[in-house]
Amino acid sequence: MSKSYMGSRTRKKDWEALTTGQPVYTDDIAPVGCLVVKLLRSPHAHARIQSIRTDLAMKVPGVVAVYTWEDVPQERFTLAGQTYPEPSAYDRLILDREVRFVGDPVAIVAAETEEAADKALRLIKVQYELLPAVLDYHTAKDNETLIHPEENWHCLCPVGADNHRNLAASGSCEEGDVEKAFAESKWVVEETYHTKACQQAMMETFRTWCQMDAYGRLTVVSSTQIVFHVRRILSNALGIPKSRIRVVKPRIGGGFGAKQTSVSEIYPAFVTLKTGRPSKIIFSRYESQIASSPRHEMELRVKIGADEAGNLKAIEVYTLSNTGAYAEHGPTTVGLSGHKSIPLYRSEAFRFSYDVVYTNQMSAGAYRGYGATQGIFAVESAIDELAHKMGVDPAALRMQNMVRQGDRMPAYYGEISLSNTMDQCLQKVKEAIGWEEKYPRRVMPDGHIRGVGLSLDMQGSGISGVDVGSVTLRVSDDGGYTMLLGCADMGTGCDTILAQMAADMLNCPIESIAVLSGDTDASPYDSGSYASSTTYITGMACVKCCKELTGKILSYGAEMLSCQPEEVEFDGEYVFKTEDPAQKVSLREISYKAESGSGKALEATASHYSPTSPPPYMVGAAEVDIDPETGKLQVVQYEAAVDCGTVVNENLARVQAEGGILQGIGMATMEDVIYDQKGRDMSNSFMQYRLPTKEDFGKIHVQFCPSYEPSGPFGAKSIGEVVINTPSPAIANAVYNAIGIRFRELPITAEKILLALNEKDGK
Amino acid sequence: MEYPITFTLNGVKRSVSVPADRYLLEQLREMGCKSVKRGCETSGCGLCTVWMDGKPVLSCTVLAVRADGHQITTLEGLQPEAKILGGYLADEGGEQCGYCAPGLMMTLLAMEREYPDRAPTEAEIRHYLEGNLCRCSGYESHIRAAVAYFQDKREVK
Ligand code: FES
Ligand code: FES
């Protein structure tokens, strides 16, 4: 009876509030008069606090409390938002006597006003004993300086972590006879690639406010992707039971994985617990740049061998990852650098090994792509190098070797690729960019040189066997529904997407479904919105939940019609007898009946997890324009084709893709977290850390090549992360095709291009 | 040191006393205009855009005392316009997290006033919006929405 929402361009459910500027974000709804929380941060990369004087700071009018390492619980925990037991080591304290990077918190100040808090910060006197700092991650493993020598450091999972070797993780895996496969290869490339730390730079910085509720429980309102994990993290950090904590997420001003780490919550939570007063912390942009959760810097050594005919024989990847001062997301991101790059191709054998090292730089975290971005840059650059060595078209080499539907993917935990249109994606992208005409390069009338390059790409859909999504649906007494979700719409539109699915399943207009998401007291358990899981995992929970609820509606309706549930149908509005549709009862009547003298609640909850994580696939192609006089690089055209399974909402999928691609272009061409010799982050504002603007690129164009994923809701997979991976390799490959210079380190800036051009010309 | 100032906020005359070093951004948020957002400390994101006497300014770099005697407009004062323009953005899915949306709206509505008798071209829109950062959308949806909006407005006029 009602229209289908699948594949539609339905507006986001929150569009009006967002576009008219309603107060729906964390700071907009903070209690008036809450304490302002600020942090004193370490000026040193590695030091031990010898003494710390807070008496002067405490005398500032309006200052309510100053806390130091002596005031906080001494049990270690991790801030990584991961399912228990977390693979990231328990290596944090709220405040530690040893500070491990420039920006590591030293003291917490709570004051009535921002001015008072700032003044207090200046009056805290700290004496540091400087320790040698590990600032080059190549020297971190087995360095005599240990980042975490402490006794109570511990890791819950066997991830190869060892604090006496500065290792947050290490390991390897392989299948097939790698040595033999390389020995039999006619063509072999072996190169090392380097990707830098990048900031998610979501427009809303980290922020949280807290207050005690009427029952003496701690309420935490935070801009987070992971309400349930935050509850556990706070319970660990504060040493209070989870039942005393409620975590709520309002609208979020962007996340991209940054808010999959509990960056800001522990400080106001500690203050409110101690003082009993509401408090809030708002990270400045500066703090969000220097003490947050950026992408792991990685160095990847890739070796690929192919036989005479161009069939790949073996792929080997070794990744050295820099997790910084804390292990957050270190053991898991590194895994994706191999497990989501090597399986792009069929090959007889593979080997993947890695070390994740601690250093005295800010802790890395989760950033969209989560290691796959780094791995794909390396592997997709190396494939191009192989093609050039062999003298074949890189597009043809990819077409010949790419993973196809039905293939087993040994490096992807042995999963089968059940839905895969990457070959069509490649075809479409080649046509759209004009590969045949433009490859490899064109010299333009103005002397600029243009080159094209491309890249294959994959990601996952949720963490197989771990991520849990849940949905609760209630019939409200006017015949509408309330949908409770534990996932976090951070702008991605998942509240809308899940409502679309429910509307299709329940045969009702989307307006009939009210959504409430991200409240640990009200929502059913959901691991959170990360790892590209929500559409695929929570989506399936939504489908199950709708089926269960429909069953209840049918049986209740049948009871009212004095017949068996098998004899009735539900059209979204009425339950009616199949034999005699005139005998019917409306959902509204059913819901009223359920509320009066009834022992049955018209609601259902369903959870879902998936034993597999079907990869979405994608192909991206860039045309770059290079001014040989200045080295200036511009991406004039970017073409992409995406296989995300069924497209649930065309608008939202497209904007995910466009936004992810531009972030990828930023990573490839300008974004770079830079430290000086003392370990100070020099890219600490939007002046130094430039983000792409509307004028930094020509055109981004996205097409879809939907496959049908049998294990996904309505055939859907994921799209949130896969979209960021292609630009780095596609642009590096395009630059090579344009000027014959291979850049193996990101970002590829005008300066680097100019220097390389001059060197090439012997200038 | 506090200074008494009087200005018109969204059509209503307001008298307040403000510290000399307070920026308009904080002052407006304190006065309930929560649509005004901060994204940076370096006047580089455009999130805090409001109008002063009908012209867009970055409220993070204008001292509150400078509002004395002027007309300040925030998105709270342009609700009907925001809703119409917002519909265009929503039809393209361009309001992702939405954090940049108020600044974008203020800029686009200001642009509309600068083109009384023709629709701006796509290149002009791109250029005009250069100072409005968005980390979510990749901008293409903003451009599509703006082009469609100006086109339709033109037809109505
Ligand atoms: S807050 Fe960024 S420009 Fe004003
Ligand atoms: S929509 Fe999130 S910053 Fe623009």
Q: Do A203 and B83 touch (CB under 8 A)?
A: no
Please report residues of B whose CB lies closer than 8 A to that of A18.
86, 95, 97-98, 101
CATH for the A134-197+294-401 domain, from 3.30.360.10, 3.90.850.10, 3.30.365.10, 3.30.420.40? 3.30.365.10
pLDDT in tens, A262-298: 999 999 999 999 999 999 999 999 999 999 999 999 9
- On the question of a cis peptide bond just before residue A747, with omega within 30 degrees of 0, the verdict is yes
Tokens of A2: 């009602």
For residues B71 and B95, membership in a common domain is answered with no
- Residue-wise pLDDT for A705-759, tens only, equals 999 999 999 999 999 999 999 999 999 999 999 999 999 999 999 999 999 999 9
> For testing the chain B interface, which of A10, A14, A18 should be mutated: the one with the most B CBs within 10 Å?
A18
Q: Map residue A22 onto helix, strand or coil.
A: coil
Res B30: pLDDT = 96
Nearest CA to ligand 2 atom 3: B134
Other CB atoms closer than 10 Å to residue A519's CB: what's the count? 18
pLDDT tens readout for residues A127-175? 999 999 999 999 999 999 999 999 999 999 999 999 999 999 999 999 9
Q: Can you tell me the ipTM of this complex?
A: 0.98
3-class DSSP state of A28: helix
Distances (CA, A) of A716 to A198, A412, A590, B57: 29, 19, 33, 44
CB–CB of A486/A541 below 8 Å? no
CATH (residue range A419-456+615-763): 3.30.365.10
Cα nearest neighbour of B129 on chain A: A694
Taking a C-beta distance cutoff of 8 angstroms, is the pair A645, A419 a contact?
yes
Specify whether B61 is located in the same domain as B120: no
**Residue B109 and residue B62 share a domain:** no
CA of B43 to the centre of ligand 1 (A): 4
**Pick from A459, A293, A301: which is nearest to A373 by CA?**
A459
What was the pLDDT predicted at A397? Answer: 98
**pLDDT tops 90 at residue A316:** yes
Asked if A131 contacts A47 with a C-beta cutoff of 8 angstroms, the reply is: yes
| Distance (Å) from the alpha carbon of A18 to chain B's nearest alpha carbon | 5
| Fold match flag (A31-131+200-290 vs A419-456+615-763) | no
Q: Is the distance from CB of B132 to CB of B107 less than 8 angstroms?
A: yes
The verdict on B17 and B61 lying in the same domain is yes
Q: What is the CA(A728)–ligand 1 centre distance, in A?
A: 29
For chain A, what percent of residues have pLDDT higher than 70? 100
> Mean pLDDT across chain A, nearest whole number?
97
Superfamily of domain A31-131+200-290: Aldehyde oxidase/xanthine dehydrogenase, a/b hammerhead (3.90.1170.50)
Instruction: Delimit the domains of chain A by residue range.
Output: 15-21+464-608, 31-131+200-290, 134-197+294-401, 419-456+615-763
Q: For chain B, give the percent of residues with pLDDT over 90.
A: 96
The DSSP code sequence of B98-156 is -TTHHHHHHHHHHHHHH-SSSPPPHHHHHHHTTT---SSS-SHHHHHHHHHHHHHHHHH
Q: At what angle do helices A727-739 and A750-760 cross, to 10 degrees?
A: 30
List pocket residues of ligand 1, CB cut-off 6 Å. B 38-40, 43-48, 58, 60
Domain final position from B24, B55, B76: B76
What band does A348 get if pLDDT is binned at 50, 70 and 90?
very high
Residue whose token pair is 């018209």: A602
Cβ contacts of B153 within 8 Å, gap of 6 or more = B112, B119
pLDDT(B4) > 90: yes
Spatial separation of the C-alpha atoms in residues A34 and A152, rounded to whole Å: 35
Minimum distance, in Å, between the CA of residue B135 and any CA atom of chain A: 6
Q: How far is CA A17 from CA B2, B90, B97, B109, in A?
A: 35, 11, 11, 17
- Over residues A493-506, the pLDDT tens digits come to 999 999 999 999 99
Please give the Cα distance from A666 to A670 (Å, whole number).
5
Give the integer Cα–Cα distance in Å for A462 and A62: 47
Each residue's pLDDT tens digit, A524-573: 999 988 988 999 999 999 999 999 999 999 999 999 999 999 999 999 99
And the tokens for A272? 């409110």
Cα(A662)–Cα(A700) distance, rounded to whole angstroms?
A: 8
Is the per-residue pLDDT at A3 higher than 80?
no
The residue range of the domain holding B49 is 2-76
Ligand lying nearest the CA atom of residue B98:
2
Instruction: Give mean pLDDT, residues B58-84.
Output: 98
For residue B97, the domain's CATH number is: 1.10.150.120
Q: Which of B47, B76, B105 is the last residue of a domain?
A: B76
pLDDT given for residue A598 in this prediction = 79
**Which candidate, A482, A506, A505, A507, places its Cα nearest to that of A495?**
A482
- Determine the Cα–Cα distance for residues A750 and A729; give it in Å rounded to an integer: 17
Instruction: Pick the closest to residue A204 from A247, A258, A279, A248 (CA basis).
Output: A258
Query: Is pLDDT above 60 for B135?
Result: yes
A655–B94 C-beta distance less than 8 A: yes
How much is the average pLDDT of A343-351?
A: 98
Question: Do B47 and B85 reside in the same domain of the chain?
Answer: no
* Domains contained in chain B, number: 2
**In this structure, what DSSP letter does residue A57 have?**
H
Q: Are residues B131 and B117 part of one domain?
A: yes
Q: Where among B59, B76, B93 does a domain terminate?
A: B76
Shortest alpha-carbon distance between residue A510 and chain B (Å): 16
Cα(B38) to centroid(ligand 1), Å = 6
pLDDT at A601: 84
**Both B54 and B116 in a single domain?**
no
CA distance A530 to A61: 43
CATH topology of domain A15-21+464-608: Aldehyde Oxidoreductase; domain 4 (3.30.365)
**Mean pLDDT, all residues of chain B:** 96
**What's the angle, vertex CA B49, arms to CA B48 and CA B53, rounded to 5?**
135
CB-nearest to A11 from B79, B90, B137 is: B90
Distance CA A417, CA A406 (A): 5
Tell me, what's the pLDDT at B156? 61
Ligand nearest to the CA of B38: 1
Look at residue B116 and tell me whether its pLDDT is greater than 60: yes
Same domain, yes or no: B70 and B134:
no
Task: Give how far A688 is from chain B: nearest CA, Å.
Answer: 10
Number of H helices, E strands in chain A: 18, 29
Residues of A whose CB is below 8 A from B28: none
The CATH number that applies at residue B26 is: 3.10.20.30
- Same domain? For B93 and B61 the reply is no
What pLDDT does residue A478 have?
83
CA A198 to chain centre: 13
Q: Please, which residues bridge with residue A317 across strands? A: A302, A352
Within a 10 A sphere around the Cβ of A536, how many other Cβ atoms? 31
CA of A254, closest atom in ligand 2: 2
- What are A506's two structure tokens? 């329940």
Cα-Cα end-to-end distance for chain A: 73
Burial A459-475 (b: 16+ CB within 10 A, else e): bbbbbbeebbbbbbbbb
Quick check: CB of B139 below 6 Å from ligand 2?
no
pLDDT at position B157 is 52
Radius of gyration of chain B (CA): 16
B96 lines ligand 2 (CB under 6 A): yes
Residue A427, helix vs strand vs coil: helix
Domain identity same for B142 and B89: yes
pLDDT score for A1: 44
Question: What is the CA angle A499-A526-A287, rounded to 5?
Answer: 100
Q: Answer yes or no: is pLDDT of A390 > 80.
A: yes
A112-118 contacts, C-beta under 8 A, 24 or more apart: A112/A35, A112/A36, A112/A62, A112/A63, A112/A64, A113/A36, A113/A62, A114/A36, A114/A38, A115/A62, A116/A36, A116/A60, A116/A61, A116/A62, A116/A63, A117/A36, A117/A37, A117/A38, A117/A63, A118/A38
| Local confidence band at A2 (pLDDT 50, 70, 90 cut-offs) | low
- Are B141 and B105 part of one and the same domain? yes
A363 has pLDDT over 50: yes
Residues B59 and B30 in one domain: yes
